[in-house]
Structure 1
Amino acid sequence: MSEAVKDRRFPIGLTIATLIAFAILCVLGGWQIKRLAWKQDLLARIEVLKTAPAQPLATVLAGVPATGGDDASWTRVAVDCAPDKAQTLPLVYGVRDGDIVWRATALCRTPGAGYGAILLDLGVVKALTGQSAPTPLALAAPAQAVGVLMAPKSLGGDRAATLTRFAADKPAPYILMVETATPAPPGIVPAPLPAEISNRHLEYALTWFGLAVTLLFIYAAMLWRKMRS
């Protein structure tokens, strides 16, 4: 077989590789479209949350399965905490406005809410901003707290590990991101919601689909040139 004939053979390997790459790019674009729908729903829920009244924690948790989930996430609730001694719980690392911050947590015992307790995220410890290895604080839960429920998996820091420490108390499968506390813990600034939530999933989806189309054009050009030579 001559070299010219070999060169004109249909490029099976190149075609398979192109199809695989094209499929991967399309899957990534489709995934970003799904993320776009999820983010739009999330932003809509946050917008409603800005004016939503706080519901009693017991009422909200009554409809939540024991395994938790996202059923009650982004719901504003109010809770009364039973008097308890101060406890030293891990500080949670975070970044806010470009600075290292540390968030304080406390355990709120809630005998009347269907669960024995719920973990409170009290907010940012102002004096610890910028520190790399701060000393843990001993904090007691406030008598009352109003905030937003969040699933541990959607938050930074190993809050889920803190919950397992109190497994005997049957803690609720959510973290209460405190907006207001009574009495307010000194030196702590409530920061229940992200300062800014980006939504660039449409841009990402168009990028992936654009790469997929570009790949097809490159493949077609290479195929045309190979078969024409």
Structure 2
Amino acid sequence: MSDASVPKDRRFPIGLTIATLVAFVILCGLGVWQLKRLAWKQDLLARIEVLKTAPARPLATVLAGKGDASWTRVSVTCAPGQAETLPLVYGVRDGDIVWRATAICRTSAAGYGAILLDLGVVKALTGQPTPAPLALAAPTQAVGVLMAPKSLGGDRAATVARFAADKPAPYILMVESATPAPAGITPAPLPAEISNRHLEYALTWFGLAVTLLFIYAAMLWRKMRS
């Protein structure tokens, strides 16, 4: 029997099948991506848990090592310097607009000549939409957690680029404590909260993929049976 002799409503729905397969692949891909994010997040949470009791290591020692140094607690001594005006970094903490202060710490560590410090939240600027910039000098001593700029909000990478002549380290030091402590600034090195719902999201995407197949099968069955 030729295709021309088959009624239109009984023909195999090639277009619908292709569309269903494309949507199914996309949904499964999103589910797999969420599983990868789950593994990454679990590793991150484990590193943070270890970080809570880890001693601070010298910055030079950490930077001289191999691999990613993110989420490592370090200590650094900064050379005396004048206060410099650097951009404040916008953020949201506990539902409020906050502004984080930064300073450049010039030091000698594993071939690098400086590292950008995130000193913490400027308490007086909480809730302000457009605060005036602050001029701050780096503390003499600082202890904090190393973070990659790309993992942080705000254009810290642009600030680091301003000090290219100093060969800045490719990390931001999120300060936990500083000597002397900068007035009016509250250290906030770690995120206020880190959610981990990637398994839930993965199951949702896979569930939608399976549901799509059932809907397609039901439509195909009705079409071929009618």
TM over 0.5: yes
Of 119, 122, 140, 2:119 maps to 122
Report the alpha carbon displacement of residue 215 of structure 1 after superposing the two structures with TM: 0.2
Deviations 1:85-126 (A, max 9, x none): 000000000000000000000000002453100000000000
Deviations along 1:43-83, whole A, 9 cap, x unmatched? 0000000000000000000125xxxxx70000000000000
Matched, 1:40 2:48: no
Correspondence for 1:94? 91
Indicate whether 1:50 and 2:52 are aligned: yes
Classify 1:214/1:77 alpha carbon distance in 2 versus 1 (closer, same or farther; 3 Å): same
2:77–2:142 CA contact under 8 A, matched in 1: yes
Q: Give the structure-1-normalised TM-score.
A: 0.95
Q: Partner letter of residue 192 of structure 2? A: A
The match for 1:67 is none
| Aligned equivalents of 2:14, 2:64: Cα separation in 1 | 60
TM normalised by structure 2 equals 0.97
Selected match of 2:13 from 11, 14, 18: 11
Task: Please report the RMSD computed on the Cα atoms of aligned residues, expressed in angstroms.
Answer: 1.0
The 3-state SS of whatever aligns with 1:103 is strand
After superposition, residues 66-105 of structure 1 pair within 5 angstroms as: 71-105=68-102
Are 1:183 and 2:191 matched, yes or no?
no
Q: Report the residue type matching 2:50 in the other structure.
A: V
Distance 1:140 1:202 in 2: 44
More off after superposition, 193-202 vs 55-64: 55-64
Which digits, 9 at most, give the CA deviation of each residue in 1:168-227, with x for residues without a partner?
000000000000000000000000000100000000000000000000000000000000
Structure 1 CA distance, aligned partners of 2:127 and 2:8?
A: 66
Say which SS state the counterpart of residue 111 (structure 1) adopts. Answer: strand
- Whichever residue aligns with residue 136 of structure 1, its letter is P
Structure 2 equivalent of residue 144 of structure 1? 141
Name the residue aligned to 1:192. 189
CA shift, 1:5, in A, is 1.7
Structure 2 counterpart SS, 1:119: strand
Q: Which amino acid aligns with 1:158?
A: D
Contact kept? 2:60, 2:108, Cα under 8 Å: no
Write the letter of the residue equivalent to 2:24.
F
Match of 1:201 among 190, 198, 202: 198
Q: Distance in 1 between matches of 2:184 and 2:125?
A: 10
Cα distance between partner residues in 1 of 2:109 and 2:38: 39
CA distance in 1, matches of 2:178, 2:10: 76
Separation of aligned partners in 1, 2:145 and 2:8: 67
- Alpha-carbon distance between aligned partners in 2 of 1:134 and 1:26, rounded to the nearest angstrom: 45
Measure the CA separation in 2 of the matches of 1:120 and 1:7. 68
